[in-house]
């Protein structure tokens, strides 16, 4: 009996520790950690880069090595561009959570993604199975901050024709989270550093019914090249252009390296000049790769701090977040869809492709095992979509569930119907602790 009690007490303690980080939610056009405004202070983290694809979250030793630098820099978030969904990530995710660090995750890999040259063919059931497997794997972690449904798929005017497929993927991920009763991790898109159609893409991802809209929007921005300023860089005009936007907005990459980087933009990004619209950003990038943007040089178990590391640390150390709510837009809400004006915005309808028929089963059965980096790829595999979804139909959810929730309603706020209260292990832990304490005394919980 005593052994069983001790085991139960250990389970209580383990469960309490596992639930030790507060999930990030959306209110209006901002992120929140509980009732406190949350600003992303992070870096893009993919040691090896695109030339040597590796999963840093599956590498527990490398992850723990780098967490020490993350803490020294004062980071609260890292972005990872590709993970191997056939591997286990518990150890690194727990280590990040213990350090108070969240993950923004791209669900695609080089072999499983929407092909801008042929988006219709690449939006298929094999692709969706892969990304759903990744989502199912990482939604269980309370420190998964957000999922990117795509990164720079649209990089000029003609490629904007792929936008409906990017938006459909975003819709499908959100529907999958609901159907599988997983935590509603925010889902959005990371846009390229182009002014051709950045604003139109932002508007497009926030128009239509609630089942079609994103939870946030992000873009890569290298327009501030030191020495510069809020006005010289043009960031003041971007704030003006996005004022009133109903979703959280942040920089998924920043840190121009044309000149010596002093990260002067940090003081503006976390000031009330910008926090009414922006929720921080992610510096490109942590490790030195061929593009020479690195903060550190990694050599096995050793990490060498480069000049940019010291510059970023100094910039973060002297820049505090604004007091209070940072003047965020608490109402949020949808905007009208942008009108077609080819060649810069070549989308002539608000309609989205329906989820491919063979992929519907994942909503009820789950995605199953991921194929990982060794998978055959999806761009020319599987069954593509053969129908158009009716706005608000919840067509990406089987009929038994599509009539529930707010999928068929028009948004009245950026957080409308998105975030059911997160029910983790804390209530169960508290109840178990109360019972144990009552029966056997408080000292039992210290076993």
Q: Look up 152 and say whether it is catalytic.
A: yes
Show the low-confidence residues of the chain (pLDDT under 70). Answer: 1-19, 392-447
How far apart CA 224 and CA 221 sit, in angstroms, is 8
Can you point out the beta strands (E) in 222-266? Answer: 249-254
Kindly report, residue by residue over 100-125, the tens digit of the pLDDT. 999 999 999 999 999 999 999 999 99
- Structure token digits, residue 136: 């199912």
- Structure token digits, residue 37: 């405004």
Give pLDDT, residue 257: 96
Q: Which structural domains are found in the chain, ordered by start?
A: 1-19+426-447 (no CATH), 24-317 (3.20.20.80)
Kindly report, residue by residue over 346-357, the tens digit of the pLDDT. 998 889 999 999
Give counts: helices (H), strands (E), the chain: 13, 15
Q: Look up 253 and say whether it is catalytic.
A: yes
Helix (H) or strand (E) holding 221: strand 216-221
**Cβ contacts of residue 318 below 8 Å, gap of 6+?**
267
Give pLDDT, residue 395: 56
Select from 118, 88, 106, 92 the least CA-distant residue to 152. Answer: 106
Report the SS3 class of residue 359.
Answer: helix
Integer angstrom CA distances of residue 435 from 3, 7, 424, 432, 439: 17, 14, 19, 5, 6
Supply the angle between the helices 60-73 and 90-98 in degrees, to the nearest 10.
20
Cis peptide bond upstream of 87, omega within 30: no
Q: Output the DSSP codes for 130-189.
A: HHHHHHHHHTT-TTEEEEEEEES---SSGGGGGHHHHHHHHHHHHHHHHHTT-----EEE
Stated pTM of the model = 0.85
Of 200, 203, 253, 288, which residue is the catalytic one? 253
């Amino acid at each position: 009996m005593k052994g069983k009690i001790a085991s139960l007490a250990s389970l209580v303690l383990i469960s309490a520790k596992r639930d030790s980080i507060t999930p990030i939610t959306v209110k209006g056009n901002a992120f929140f950690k509980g009732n406190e405004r949350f600003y992303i202070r992070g870096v893009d983290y993919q040691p090896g880069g695109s030339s040597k694809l590796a999963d840093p979250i599956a590498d527990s030793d490398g992850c723990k090595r780098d967490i020490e630098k993350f803490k020294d820099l004062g980071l609260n978030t890292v972005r990872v561009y590709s993970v191997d969904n056939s591997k286990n990530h518990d150890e690194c995710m727990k280590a990040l959570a213990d350090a108070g660090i969240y993950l923004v995750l791209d669900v695609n890999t080089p072999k499983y993604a929407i092909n801008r040259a042929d988006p219709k063919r690449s939006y298929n059931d094999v692709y969706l199975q892969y990304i759903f497997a990744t989502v199912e794997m990482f939604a269980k972690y309370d420190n998964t901050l957000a999922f990117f449904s795509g990164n720079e798929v649209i990089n000029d005017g003609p490629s904007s024709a792929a936008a409906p497929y990017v938006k459909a993927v975003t819709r499908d991920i959100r529907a999958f989270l609901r159907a599988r009763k997983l935590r509603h991790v925010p889902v959005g898109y990371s846009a390229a550093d182009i002014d051709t159609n950045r604003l139109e893409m932002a508007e497009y991802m926030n128009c239509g019914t609630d089942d079609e809209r994103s939870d946030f929007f992000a873009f890569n921005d290298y327009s501030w090249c030191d020495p510069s300023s809020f006005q010289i860089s043009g960031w003041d005009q971007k704030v003006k252009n996005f004022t009133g936007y109903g979703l959280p907005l942040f920089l998924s990459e920043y840190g121009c390296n044309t000149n010596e980087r002093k990260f002067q933009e940090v003081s503006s990004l976390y000031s009330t000049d910008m926090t009414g619209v922006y929720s921080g950003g992610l510096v490109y990038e942590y490790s030195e790769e061929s593009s020479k943007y690195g903060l550190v040089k990694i050599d096995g178990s050793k990490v060498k701090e480069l000049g940019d590391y010291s510059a970023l640390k100094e910039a973060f150390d002297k820049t505090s977040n604004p007091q209070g709510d940072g003047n965020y837009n608490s109402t949020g809400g949808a905007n009208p869809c942008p009108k077609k004006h080819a060649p810069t915005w070549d989308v002539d309808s608000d309609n989205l492709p329906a989820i491919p028929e063979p992929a519907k089963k994942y909503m009820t059965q789950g995605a199953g095992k991921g194929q990982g980096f060794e998978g055959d790829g999806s761009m020319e595999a599987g069954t593509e979509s053969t129908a158009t979804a009716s706005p608000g139909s919840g067509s990406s959810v089987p009929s038994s569930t599509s009539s529930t929730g707010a999928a068929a309603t028009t948004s009245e706020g950026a957080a409308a119907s998105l975030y059911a209260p997160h029910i983790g292990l804390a209530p169960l832990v508290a109840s178990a602790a109360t019972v144990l304490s009552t029966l056997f005394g408080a000292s039992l919980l210290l076993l």
